[in-house]
Amino acid sequence: MDSEMKRVLALALALACAFTLVACGEKKDEDAKSEGVMTYAEYAAAALDSEVVIEAYVQAKQSWWNDQATLYTQDKDGAYFLYNAACSQADYDKLTPGTKIKATGFKSEWSGEIEITDATIEIESGSYTAPALDATKLLGTDDLIKHQNEFVTFKGLTVEAMDDTGAAFYYNWDSSGQEGTDADLYFRVTDGTDSYTFVDEYYLCNEESDVYEAIRNLNVGDTVDIEGFLYWYEGPQPHVTSVTVK
Amino acid sequence: MRKLCLLLCLLTVLTLLTGCHGARRMEDFAMPESFDTSREYEITFWAKNDTNKNQTAIYEKAIRDFEALYPNVRVNLRLYTDYGKIYNDVITNIATNTTPNICITYPDHIATYMTGDNVVLPLDELFSDPNYGLGGSSLLFDGPTEEEIVPEYLQECRIGEHCYALPFMRSTEALYVNETYLNKLGYELPEIVTWDFIWEAADAAAKKDADGVYALNGQKVMIPFIYKSTDNMMIQMLRQLDAPYSDENGSILLFTDRTKGLLQTIAQHVKNGAFSTFKISSYPANLLNAGQCLFAVDSTAGATWMGTDAPLSDISPDKLVRFETAVRPIPQFDPAHPKMISQGPSICLFNKRDGQEVLASWLFVQYLLTNDVQTAYAETEGYVPVTQKARDDASYQAYLNYDGPEDAAHYSVKLKASKLLIEHTSDTFVTPVFNGSTSLRDASGQLIENTVKSVRRGETVDDAYFAKLYDSVTALYRLGQGNTAAAGKADLGPLPGTAKALLGGLLGVWVLIGVYVLFDRVKRRNR
């Protein structure tokens, strides 16, 4: 290879490196918040009843009714529960796990659940699906609430009886429901120290879902791994999306 | 001429066919002479419980007992925990002729069901049938006569000229008071509480220190006054003031300065931190039982959730605070003339092609009004039976006047709530029922909810705000858009000119056809 050729090659390599560097420098940070949008820390610090603007990724859709959607959303720093956000049926259909949205609404609290109400949403480009945080060791601690609404997993819990009859689950919180009536399923588990009530929210996972069926097949004493969203109602009451009997 | 006539005939037939399309009119029900027990019947009953397993058990027992009397009838129970869901499902099923035979409902909802032609059965003929009517001679159980149903409650089921339902249970709203806290604030609880008293005490309970700790309970959470159903709150306040809300013709009279005045008062006390609502904060019972509330208004049918020892308390034991729970009528503007809403489930019957199937359903409906079912269901909550017969029943009287050690079945707050309604039955009222009255009811609550939220969010709540609020709520609930009175046959006024022209045209066509036929016959005869 003569020296002229070497110079051409060196120049080409230098140019390629320069382009690469420029390209890297201009790559958009998908995790960066748009102008006027709060970080999760700012959202967490915001006062109740104040207006909040967030960007997050849909993790699951709970329900749509009368142009209102209830959504579990999350970014890499925390989770946001959107309750009855204004949303057309067409937009709701576009939302899938991972879809990025911007929501403008009001930070509210209902029975201990921190949520965004009266929100409007815009669909943005970007995608993120949160891995399940293993929150088993956080059960019974003050740190659990810091992960409110996040997608979490609890491992190695034991199913307890709901009452003296040995029922492993209830249709509705007190067994006042029955099969085929859109009833939520309630079941109780223990980590060996305390008991916790978990819920299959019917509108999130109905009788056609695997988890609804799995709960109906639970037996007292089963050891289970559970995934779901860390919903709060007068204390932790996760909305489960998966139950695996070990 | 012949071609013209054929064309006109074709057009007429097509018009008639088009008119038939989409009409789902059910034949009028004709009462069978006797109940055919040689046939099997399967009827569907859509019922509502208050997420209370005791109520579920009572429905199931009633079905078992009824089926034992009528072995040829099978009753399929579908349970709901929400009146709204039953309403939506019925509306959906009217379109496909798949309504249940019987459902628990509110007269407001029936008014909408009645927009389907001949869908809901008027019960007058059934009431008076000597064999199978109320107290009829061929019934296999001891059902109530028409006179034994509390007249106020039966009247609530009248829409226009007919009775479209039977009352099943009745409740009202009650004021549940943490009397321990009230006394601590220096107040004595009167027998009838006024709105002025409520606001004054609630404002006093809202005092907190610089760290946000409330003086009254030593906690960082305190909602001195919370209301479960803001629809009821607005409706009852207006009725107590004799202020307009709606009328029998379906006129919407809610959006007035009187209403605005009430909203301004509410806004002021929200600003003071004295008031919130179930939709915005939480269940009144949860706050009351945690010592985070002084006054809670909820249904008497929610009495088993209220108080330190409530059998159905929904908060963890470590959050419970011990206090004395008092039960009073809802706050009043004129304590000498208390007024409170009458609410609670009624039962309606849907028309079916098989008259025997309807009769089987009617028998079961009446069975739900027998003493055993009435008293058992009423005792699950602060409900009261809808028949005087059940109210006078010795076992029910013993239940009401129980003075033994308190247990879940004889929870004192529940007993007080039931007695409250029995003592004030004549002070209860209902709002006019028409197609659209459900929306108006929702709108009246929405006015309060929006006002409370706006104050909490620091928005300016002034005249301009209320003008905008009225517009947005009117639009949201589509008030005044086709919601005319559905009380049977409304007077629609004279026919419009276009309709008269069309009818005249049709008449003309038939005259022309007649003339042609006559002309043709004369012509043939002359041939």
pLDDT digits 0-9 by tens, B286-311: 999 999 999 999 999 999 999 999 99
* pLDDT at residue B503 in the model: 57
Whether B81 and A177 lie within 8 Å, measured CB to CB: yes
Chain B residues within 8 Å of chain A (Cβ atoms): 49, 51-53, 55-56, 77-81, 85, 280-283, 286, 312, 314-316, 319, 453, 456-458
pLDDT tens digit string along B213-236? 999 999 999 999 999 999 999 999
Sheet holding B41-48, edge to edge: B73-80, B41-48, B102-105, B346-349, B166-167
Judged by CB atoms closer than 8 Å, whether chains meet at B316 and A234 is answered as yes
pLDDT surpassing 60 at residue B495: no
State the DSSP string of A145-194.
Answer: GGGTT-EEEEEEEEEE-SSTT--S-EESTTS---TTS---EEEEEE-SS-
Rounded to a whole number of angstroms, the distance from the CA of B387 to the nearest CA of chain A is 26
Q: What is the pLDDT of residue B507?
A: 67
Range of A106-120, B311-325, B427-441 with top mean pLDDT: A106-120
Going by pLDDT thresholds of 50, 70 and 90, the confidence category of residue B252 is very high
Task: Give how far A109 is from chain B: nearest CA, Å.
Answer: 7
Confidence check: pLDDT of B367 > 80:
yes
Which amino acid is present at A58? V
In the structure, what pLDDT confidence band is assigned to residue A24 with cuts at 50, 70 and 90?
Answer: very low
Query: Of A176, A182, A235, which is closest to B56 when you measure between CB atoms?
Result: A176
Residue with tokens 């529940």: B414
Taking an 8 Å cut-off on Cβ atoms, the answer to whether A178 and B56 are in contact is yes
Lowest mean pLDDT among B387-396, B427-436, B473-482: B473-482
Within B192-256, residue ranges assigned H as helices are 195-205, 230-240
Q: What is the predicted pLDDT for the residue at B81?
A: 83
Q: Report residue A2 CA to chain centroid gap.
A: 61
Residues from chain B contacting residue A175 (CB–CB below 8 Å): 53, 56
The mean pLDDT of A61-69, rounded to a whole number, is: 95
Residue corresponding to tokens 């049938």: B129
The yes-or-no verdict on residue B492 having pLDDT over 50 is no
pLDDT digit string, tens, across residues B195-216: 999 999 999 999 999 999 999 9
Q: Do B457 and A51 touch (CB under 8 A)?
A: yes
Asked if A49 lies within 8 A of B283 by C-beta distance, the reply is: no
Q: Identify from B81, B221, B477 which residue to disrupt to test chain A contact, counting A C-beta atoms within 10 A and taking the largest count.
A: B81
Least confident of A1-5, A85-89, B177-181: A1-5
- CATH code that applies to domain A40-127: 2.40.50.140
In chain B, which residues have their Cβ closer than 8 Å to the Cβ of A162?
none
Q: Which residues of A64-88 are buried (b: 16+ CB within 10 A; e: fewer)?
A: beeebbbbbbbbeebbbbbbbbebe
With CA atoms as reference, report the closest residue to B100 among B42, B168, B151.
B42
Q: What is the mean pLDDT of residues B121-146?
A: 96
Taking residue B79's Cβ as centre, other Cβ atoms within 10 Å add up to 26
How many Å apart are CA A148 and CA A109, to the nearest integer?
Answer: 12
Mean pLDDT of B56-68: 97
Q: And the tokens for B92?
A: 């959906």
Residue B482 has pLDDT above 60, yes or no: no
Burial of B96 (0-12, 13-18, 19+ CB in 10 A): exposed
B326 alpha carbon, distance to own chain's centre: 27
Tally: H helices and E strands in chain B: 19, 16
A133 Cβ contact list (under 8 Å, min separation 6): A147, A150, A151, A152, A153
Cα→Cα distances A121→A83, A89, A103, Å: 12, 13, 4
What's the rounded mean pLDDT across residues B512-519? 71
Euclidean distance between CA atoms B86 and B47, whole angstroms: 8
- Torsional sign, CA A122, A126, A132, A137: negative
Query: Which of B48, B49, B51 has the most A C-beta neighbours within 10 Å, making it the best mutation to test the interface with A?
Result: B51
Select the residue from B50, B53, B320, B476 to test the A interface by mutation, using most A Cβ atoms within 10 A.
Answer: B53
- Return mean pLDDT, chain B: 90
- Please enumerate in sequence order all residues whose Cβ is within 8 A of that of B476, keeping only pairs 6 or more positions apart, or say none: B443, B446
Pairwise CB contact (< 8 Å): B456 & A234? no
d(CA B430, CA B446): 19
CA distance B403 to B416: 12
Query: Nearest-CA distance from B478 to chain A in Å?
Result: 13
pLDDT at A27 exceeding the cut of 90: no
Q: Which fold has domain A133-245?
A: OB fold (Dihydrolipoamide Acetyltransferase, E2P) (2.40.50)
Min CA distance, B330 vs chain A (Å)? Answer: 24
Which residue in A49, A84, A175, A206 has the most chain B C-beta atoms within 10 A of its own C-beta, making it the best mutation to test that interface? A49
Q: In the prediction, which pLDDT does B18 show?
A: 40
User: Which two tokens mark B426?
Assistant: 């004549």
Query: CB B53 to CB A175 under 8 A?
Result: yes
pLDDT band of residue B505 (cuts 50, 70, 90) is: low
Q: Inspect the interface and report whether the beta carbons of B319 and A181 lie closer than 8 Å.
A: no
Interface contact B281-A234, CB threshold 8 A: no
Task: With beta carbons under 8 A apart, name residues in chain B contacting A177.
Answer: 51, 56, 79, 81
Taken in order B77, B82, B88, B90, the sign of the CA dihedral is positive
Pick the range with the lowest mean pLDDT from A98-107, A153-162, A166-175. A166-175
Nearest Cα of chain A lies from the Cα of B280 at a distance, in angstroms, of 7
Please give, rounded to a whole number of angstroms, the shortest distance from the CA of A195 to a CA of chain B: 12
Asked if B111 contacts B434 with a C-beta cutoff of 8 angstroms, the reply is yes
* Interchain proximity B457–A50, CB inside 8 Å: yes
Which residue ranges make up each domain of chain A? 40-127, 133-245
pLDDT tier, B125 (very low <50, low <70, confident <90, very high otherwise): very high
Give the mean model confidence (pLDDT) for residues A186-210: 96
Q: What pLDDT was estimated at residue B46?
A: 96
Distance from CA of B437 to the nearest CA of A (A): 19
Question: What is the Cα B170 distance to its own chain's centre?
Answer: 10
> Which of B151-160, B195-204, B314-323, B495-504 shows the lowest per-residue confidence on average (mean pLDDT)?
B495-504
pLDDT at A181: 77
Closest in B51, B77, B319 to A172, CB measured? B51
Over residues B180-195, the pLDDT tens digits come to 999 999 999 999 999 9
Query: Residues near B468 by Cβ (< 8 Å), separated by ≥ 6?
Result: none
Taking contacts as CB-CB distances below 8 angstroms, the residues of chain A near B315 are 234
User: HEC states along B148-203?
Assistant: HECHHHHHHCEECCEECCEECEEECEEEEEEHHHHHHCCCCCCCCCEHHHHHHHHH
Choose among A174, A177, A234: nearest Cβ to B315: A234
Interface of A with B (CB under 8 A): 49-51, 106, 108-112, 118, 172-178, 180-182, 234-235
Mean pLDDT of A112-136: 98
For residue range B325-353, what is the model confidence (pLDDT) as tens digits? Answer: 999 999 999 999 999 999 999 999 999 99
CA B126 – CA B128 distance, rounded (Å): 6
pLDDT confidence of residue B84: 85
> What is the rounded average pLDDT for all residues in chain A?
91
The 10s digit of each residue's pLDDT in A159-195 is 999 999 999 999 998 888 888 878 999 999 999 999 9
Q: Does the pLDDT at position B412 exceed 70?
A: yes
**Rg value, chain A, Cα:** 23
Among candidates B57, B147, B154, which has minimal Cα distance to B392? Answer: B147
Name the token pair of B309.
């020892």
Q: Which residues of B touch A235 (CB under 8 A)?
A: 316
Q: What is the pLDDT of residue B11?
A: 46
**Cross-chain residue pair B281–A118, CB shorter than 8 Å:** no
Tell me how many residue pairs between chain A and chain B have CB atoms under 8 A apart: 56
Q: Are B469 and B447 spatial neighbours (Cβ–Cβ below 8 Å)? A: yes
Contacts of B302 in chain A (CB under 8 A): none
Residue B462 to chain A, least CA–CA distance (Å):
19
For residue B341, what pLDDT is reported? 97
Contacting residues of B for A108, CB less than 8 Å apart: 280
Q: Is the pLDDT of residue B10 over 50?
A: no
pLDDT of residue A99: 98
The answer to whether domain A40-127 and domain A133-245 are alike in fold is: yes
> Chain B contacts of A50, Cβ < 8 Å?
457
Taking CB atoms and an 8 Å cutoff, what residues of chain B touch A174? 51-53, 312
Q: How confident is the model at residue B52 (pLDDT cuts 50, 70, 90)?
A: confident
- Closest Cα in chain A to B281: A110
Count other C-beta atoms under 10 Å from residue B398's C-beta: 9
Q: Tell if the CB–CB gap between A180 and B85 is shorter than 8 Å.
A: no
Task: Mark yes or no for CB contact B281/A109 under 8 Å.
Answer: yes
Beta-carbon separation of B51 and A176 below 8 A = yes
Taking CA atoms, what residue in A is nearest to B314?
A234
ipTM: 0.86
Q: Please tell me which of the candidates B282, B314, B315 has its beta carbon nearest to residue A110.
A: B282
Rounded Cα–Cα distance for residues A35 and A33 (Å)? 7
pLDDT of A4 above 60: yes
Strand stretches in B225-372, DSSP E? 225-227, 275-277, 295-299, 325-329, 340-341, 346-349
Handedness of CA B467, B470, B475, B480 (dihedral sign): negative
Q: Are strands A185-190 and A170-171 parallel, antiparallel or unpaired?
A: antiparallel
Preferred mutation among A117, A172, A195, A199 to probe B, highest tally of B CBs within 10 A? A172
Q: How far is CA A49 from the centre of its chain?
A: 22
Mean pLDDT across B368-395:
96
Instruction: Give every CB contact of residue B166 below 8 A, 6+ residues apart in sequence.
Output: B123, B149, B154, B157, B346, B347, B365, B366, B369, B386
A233 touches A113 (CB < 8 A): yes
